[in-house]
Chain A
Amino acid sequence: MSLKQNLHNLKEKYKGTKMAPAFNAIHTFLYLPNEVTHGGTHIKAADDLKRTMNIVIMALVPCLLFGMFNAGYQHYAAIDGSLRTDVLANFFTFDNLWIGIIKVLPLVIVSYGVGLLVEFIFAVIKGHEVEEGYLVTGMLVPLIVPIDTPLWMLAVAVVFGVVIGKEVFGGTGMNILNPALTIRAFLFFAYPTWMSGDKVWVYDAVNRTGTADAISGETILGSYAQNQEVIYSTFDKFMGFIPGSVGETSTFLILVGAAILIFTKIASWRIILSAFVGAAVMGLIFNQIVAADIITDSSKFYGLMNTVWWEHLTIGGLAFGAVFMATDPVTGSQTNKGKWIYGFLIGFISIMIRVFNPAYPEGVFLAILLMNVFAPTIDHYVVQGNVKKRLKRTKVKIA
């Protein structure tokens, strides 16, 4: 008997019992269910929630694979700086990938294992079907944490994020905040020493602190915030050969992912575009402030304010946040006009937090969480504005 038949029998056996959602979910996850609706007319579309989630995951896979290579590359390049002279020859090596396998894969496994366990428990307790929402969250989480994050911390954060960020509001589709970012925010506030500084971004840098083999892995934003020179070229920054969270360094591959999401109409191009525009506008404003000599290099904000505006778009987590996080259809704005405002403010506030918080120079996750909270308000005013406009039009006609 095939696995599919076995699962089907198990599902039938447990039908109507408490454990039913768990078997249902495994069956649906692995195979196309063999039940079809009978009677009536139905609108048929190829994209269900499962397929939508799968496409997002596929769009994330390039970032994940790149992140695995980059984990090793940053580690070896921090030990031997000469590797950076020929990136392409030293990047796609098995040694690099091996470090990615031993460091990144456990993050992915813990993220999925713990998160899905929580989802299954809630589905069984509340007696509803297991929802697909966590499939994407589970993939996003390992990509937005530093490489050396201890696994137990990740597990605690995932439990917190899924329960407090999502399940208390009623599960997938009801959450106000993006669960992946809730997890990231929890880690940031709970364990700040593991989430910031110049040690956590490169594998093994924490263990080597204080020894003769000490290595540093300052992020570009960290260097700029301290007004230091950066050794990476624009090409490095755009392609992602730089230290950072696991999967967010490569702006190029993120744009590839964005293309997939926009082509399949899963992500809103309005949000992505307006987020980049918002970031660029804020960057330009800061550049103008520096150009007008309002602020001098004695200020602690000078380094990041002086960063050329287009460079802000390629460094840090801005691109990743704008493409994969801000476009979450549940927590983002729903109306087209609202999407423009929502995206613009995300980019705008991201760069603002980035510049004005030199101790932790990144603000994308905070900006997106903030705008998640405001998204319903934005939508409300967009809809009300439309209602008013139409009322006015009818009044004119009557008169």
Chain B
Amino acid sequence: MGLLSKKDAVLLSDPLADNNPITIQVLGICSALAITAELKASIVMAVSVLFVLGLGNVVISLMRNIIPSKIRIIVQLIVVATLVIIVDLVLKAFAYELSKTLSVFVGLIITNCIIMGRFEAFALGNGPWRSFLDGIGNAVGYGVILIAVGFFRELLGSGTLLGFKVLGDSIEKTGLYALGYENNGFMLLSPMALIVVGIIIWIQRSRNTSLIEEN
């Protein structure tokens, strides 16, 4: 195996499938609903969370023995806030238009429950390497769902992918639009993101019935 022991590999693979932060733990839903109308925004959000969670987990893990437990939430918040400000400033410097689309939601990464959840549940009790893997695993698990939702919402809602008109031009009526196809405006509204996430959860649970809770 080399780099990863079996126990460490689970940290990476588990959040991707059977312990996905969005579809199983139902965390981080707010951002999944708010910014997934475009694929590009979803990807940037996924990368931002990957950076914040991966690095934040390592920082918290390194400091875990010196943080007084009474004020640990505040310390965690400061760590996330620092990292989020870095992401925000980088976006403003190199992708200004995009940072406007994401607007407050980059800042709101601070309140993303997945991040605080991983700090509390994992980084405070594990070494930096394992915390790093856990952070990466959870951020990728979050990002995969975000990108999947963003893909369907942009494709069906605007007929584009990353801004490319893959289905033809809706104003000049080329491609599919010549046949009378129209964009589904509902896809651009947040409720539809909830329904798309719901359908993903549905598919996942019907494929792996052990995930279904007993009533």
Residues in A lying within 8 Å of B, measured CB to CB? 150, 152-153, 156, 164, 168, 186, 189-194
How would you classify the secondary structure of chain B's contact residues: helix, strand, loop or mixed? Answer: helix
How far does the alpha carbon of A186 sit from the alpha carbon of B182 in the complex, in Å? 14
B182 and A189 contacting across the interface, CB-CB below 8 Å: no
How would you classify the secondary structure of chain A's contact residues: helix, strand, loop or mixed? Answer: helix
A191 and B180 contacting across the interface, CB-CB below 8 Å: no
Closest residue of B by beta carbon distance from A187: B186
Q: How many B residues face the partner with a CB closer than 8 A?
A: 11
Closest residue of A by beta carbon distance from B199: A164
Closest residue of A by beta carbon distance from B202: A168
A152 and B189 contacting across the interface, CB-CB below 8 Å: no
How far does the alpha carbon of A189 sit from the alpha carbon of B180 in the complex, in Å? 18
Which residues, 153 to 182 on B, are CB-close (under 8 Å) to A? 180-182
A153 and B186 contacting across the interface, CB-CB below 8 Å: no
Closest residue of B by beta carbon distance from A153: B182
A189 and B185 contacting across the interface, CB-CB below 8 Å: yes
How far does the alpha carbon of A198 sit from the alpha carbon of B181 in the complex, in Å? 21
A190 and B184 contacting across the interface, CB-CB below 8 Å: yes
A189 and B195 contacting across the interface, CB-CB below 8 Å: no
Within the complex, the shortest CB–CB distance from A188 to chain B, in Å, comes to: 9
B residues in contact with A193, CB < 8 Å: 182
Closest residue of B by beta carbon distance from A192: B185
B187 at the interface (CB under 8 A from A): yes
Q: For A191, give its contact among B185, B189, B195, B202 (CB under 8 Å).
A: B185
A residues in contact with B189, CB < 8 Å: 189
**Contacts A164-B195, A168-B202 hold; do A150 and B180 have CB atoms under 8 A apart?**
yes
Within the complex, the shortest CB–CB distance from A387 to chain B, in Å, comes to: 25
Closest residue of B by beta carbon distance from A194: B182
Within the complex, the shortest CB–CB distance from A166 to chain B, in Å, comes to: 14
B186 and A190 contacting across the interface, CB-CB below 8 Å: yes
B residues in contact with A150, CB < 8 Å: 180, 182
B residues in contact with A168, CB < 8 Å: 198, 202
A residues in contact with B185, CB < 8 Å: 189-192
Within the complex, the shortest CB–CB distance from B153 to chain A, in Å, comes to: 12
How far does the alpha carbon of A192 sit from the alpha carbon of B157 in the complex, in Å? 13
A residues in contact with B181, CB < 8 Å: 152
Within the complex, the shortest CB–CB distance from B130 to chain A, in Å, comes to: 38
How far does the alpha carbon of A153 sit from the alpha carbon of B186 in the complex, in Å? 13
How far does the alpha carbon of A287 sit from the alpha carbon of B63 in the complex, in Å? 68
How far does the alpha carbon of A224 sit from the alpha carbon of B91 in the complex, in Å? 49
